[in-house]
Structure 1
Amino acid sequence: MGFFDHDENENSAAVEQTEEKVVQMPEKRPFQRWEVGGEVYKLKLDTAGISELEQKYKTNLMNVMGTGNGGMPALTVMLDVAHVAMRKYHHGIKRETLNALFDKYLEEGGSQLNFYTEVYMGIFTVSGFFSTALANQVEGAMEEAAQEIL
């Protein structure tokens, strides 16, 4: 019996060593939230949406993430990305509806710059354009930028 007990002790030690190697990954948000008019909209790009936008702009989305004057893309680009990202959770939403939501967002005190820092960049973060660690750094930088704007 001592022989079998010895094997169990070795197996227990091996399991304990394996458990020590498990690393907790930072938690990733499943989607970007955008609140307008008391309603929360979920946004996230999937592969089909990314492909659609890349075909439309004839470039990788990393190239439209922050281009243009001041590093911020044109409003049309940001709303195109938001529209495609919104369709995943809000089926059948039309671009005209998104435009109306953005107008309401502005009426509620939002701005293009706030939309860029709080929503647009968040879409890229939750859609896998950055590693989780880098995404956390980007979110931190965006929060700091948003505070400086205020």
Structure 2
Amino acid sequence: MFTMKTKQAEQTEKIGEQLANSLKPNDVILLDGDLGAGKTTFTKGLAKGLGIKRYVKSPTFTIIHEYREGRMPLFHMDVYRLEDGGGDDLGWDEYFYGDGVSVIEWSQFIQDYLPEDYLRITLKRNDESDNQRTLAFDAQGERYTTLLNDLKEDLK
């Protein structure tokens, strides 16, 4: 487990951009936290780091946005609407074991479909000014332990 704080949205985005430098196809990043915690802001940074120029917004109503023009595809998922189920036919394995990076917001709602190994990032607002965040990183599996260690080195 690794925890860090940011003081503004740009810092949260920059950490996502740094992480993108070490990402490989089939990587799975889980982003959890309350509404407005910075999950999509973090994903914008990931997209930028992957060379994606399109505007990144939360796929709340479409569930999945695919961005294919970067160094590798980014599959951005917001599964909040699947809280009561309904994700059986979305082809999770095609995303998780495809040619890109999968980023899943609200991952607890599809826990049964997730791969065994992943990097979970829990984002939490620290103040009422809506600027400060705490990011808690939890690596599951050897690949993600290495990824997290690389990120810690990059952020020094």
Please report the TM-score for the alignment, with normalisation by the length of structure 1.
0.23
Comparing both structures, which one devotes a greater share of its residues to helix?
A: 1
| More RCO (CA 8 Å, sep 6+) | 2
Please report the TM-score for the alignment, with normalisation by the length of structure 2.
0.23
Larger radius of gyration: 1
